[in-house]
Amino acid sequence: MCLRILCGCNGWSNPRGWVQSITKKDSMPSARHFLTQGKRRFWITAFVSILLVTPGLSPNQAQSQEPGSPRASTSPKKPPARASYVGDEVCRSCHQEKGKTYLETSHHLTSRLPSEHSMAGKFTPGANILKTANPYLHFEMSVNPAGYFQTAVEDISPTKTFSRTERIDIVTGSARKGQSYLFWKGDQLFQLPVTYWTATDSWVNSPSYPDGSPHFDKAIIPRCLECHGSYFEWLPPPVNRYSKTSLVLGITCERCHGPGRAHVALNRSKSPPHSGEAEAIVNPASLSRDRQLDVCGLCHSGAGAPIESSLSFVAGDVLDDYIYIPYASDDTVVDVHGSQVQLLKRSRCFQSSANMTCTTCHDVHTVQRDAAAFSPRCLSCHQPKNCGEYPKLGEQIARDCVNCHMPLQESKVLFSNTGGKKIVPMVRNHRIAVYAESQ
């Protein structure tokens, strides 16, 4: 199931949960306020497929599938039991080197609790303000002993101000490109309206939020948490209701290796396995190429709608049995954001190789930030002298293959409308090819 709530709330005629404060001002423009022009309507758009959750229906029964998508199993698959997972700390007790370097990766940091170390945005006076296209509305970011907060402040009249404050409960994003923030309302999880944008080192409107309008109602659905967390208990309806204490943040070791309790018990037993024997754990490197790609493709193949319950896919499974991904035809444009596996499969390098996968270039256990450092992987197959730019650039082309053949490009689906401007991130295109703009 995948719902995307673009916007939806009524006008700000003292909505519940808002604090009204009285202020005195010398003057105020008499223009009719943007936010008090009557009630807004709820707009909900379907993102691949729409799930109509009603009491008494399981996630599988409630799900609507796209025409031509695989049929859901008559025996719905369930996520592994929480007790079958042991957590990263137990993994690090044996795999210390990999465990230590993994702590700094974007996967591990994709969600975490707010703290001085995890919050990338500035909370100092002046830098903690986001002005909007609406001159009567701004957002303030603040911190105090009780936590980190976002506040929307609206000037209703020369003497009246409405404000709504919500605490930042979860940080999503490693801050390589940015961070968004989530908050709990009871046991329902929502996205906050202000995001931190790394390229501009500033606060911006969260993607898909309208500029100049205060929304705190974008529901966080299971498909979001499945790629920005490692475990949760979903308790619909409504679609964004979870057990708060069940959340395991960040991408943990067991998201790619499968539940580890049996593996730990086996290796701590009196008769641990010898080298080469079954280890009761998944080593993705030992899987077939398609199954290796499925491990990454769960979150890097583009938009997908669940066929089975979220978190039921385990490394080694066939992804198409769990997620319906509308694979694009070769002549269809695929956005650079979140579609790395689809783009890689379009590459001549991939198509001419029998064993190329994501981990041919990526080591997920360590931080990789320098694009030029990937060049040796390219040169294991390609000779610099065969490059069309060699006569002009010479041997220096061997120092940076990636920025020419996998350039950074603007995403067409991920952007922020802030201050009347459209802010678009630059994302690495994973289709390895010759690009005219890189010549």
Dump pLDDT digits (tens) for 316-345.
999 999 999 888 787 888 999 999 999 999
If we measure between CA atoms, which residue out of 117, 170, 128, 173 comes closest to residue 153? 128
Say how far apart CA 193 and CA 137 lie, in whole Å. 13
Give the range among 182-196, 267-281, 418-432 with minimum mean pLDDT: 267-281
- The structure's pTM equals 0.83
Are the C-beta atoms of 342 and 327 separated by less than 8 Å? yes
Provide the pLDDT for residue 74: 62
For residue 7, give the H/E element and its range. strand 3-7
Q: Who's near 6: CB < 8 A, 6+ residues apart?
A: 43, 44, 45, 208, 218
- Position 43 pLDDT exceeds 70: no
In tens, the pLDDT along 237-246 reads 999 999 999 9
Per the model's pLDDT, the better-predicted residue between 195 and 72 turns out to be 195
Q: Who's near 237: CB < 8 A, 6+ residues apart?
A: 53, 54, 55
In tens, the pLDDT along 63-89 reads 333 333 454 456 789 999 999 999 999
Nearest 5°: the CA angle 144, 145, 146 is 90
What percent of the chain is predicted at pLDDT more than 90? Answer: 71
45: amino acid identity, one letter: T
Distances (CA, A) of 353 to 115, 348, 434: 45, 8, 18
Structure tokens belonging to residue 103: 């702590």
Average pLDDT, stretch 182-195?
98
Is the Cα dihedral 121, 123, 126, 132 positive or negative?
positive
Structure tokens belonging to residue 148: 């980190």
Per the model's pLDDT, the better-predicted residue between 382 and 74 turns out to be 382
Structure tokens belonging to residue 105: 């990766």
If we measure between CA atoms, which residue out of 225, 226, 206, 229 comes closest to residue 216? 206
Average pLDDT, stretch 17-37?
38
Average pLDDT, stretch 163-178?
97
Per the model's pLDDT, the better-predicted residue between 61 and 390 turns out to be 390
User: 25 in the Ramachandran plot: left (φ > 0), alpha (ψ -120 to 50) or beta?
Assistant: beta
Provide the pLDDT for residue 326: 84
Question: Could you give the residue ranges of the DSSP H alpha helices within 258-371?
Answer: 261-267, 289-300, 340-345, 348-351
Provide the pLDDT for residue 275: 79
- Position 157 pLDDT exceeds 70: yes
Beta bridge partners of 384: none
Provide the pLDDT for residue 46: 34
Provide the pLDDT for residue 232: 97
Provide the pLDDT for residue 329: 80
Per the listing, tokens 């350039």 go with 407
299 burial (CB, 10 Å; 0-12 / 13-18 / 19+) is: buried
Average pLDDT, stretch 37-65?
33
Are the C-beta atoms of 317 and 77 separated by less than 8 Å? no
Q: What is residue 2's three-state secondary structure?
A: coil
Provide the pLDDT for residue 330: 78
* pLDDT band per the 50, 70, 90 thresholds, residue 56: very low
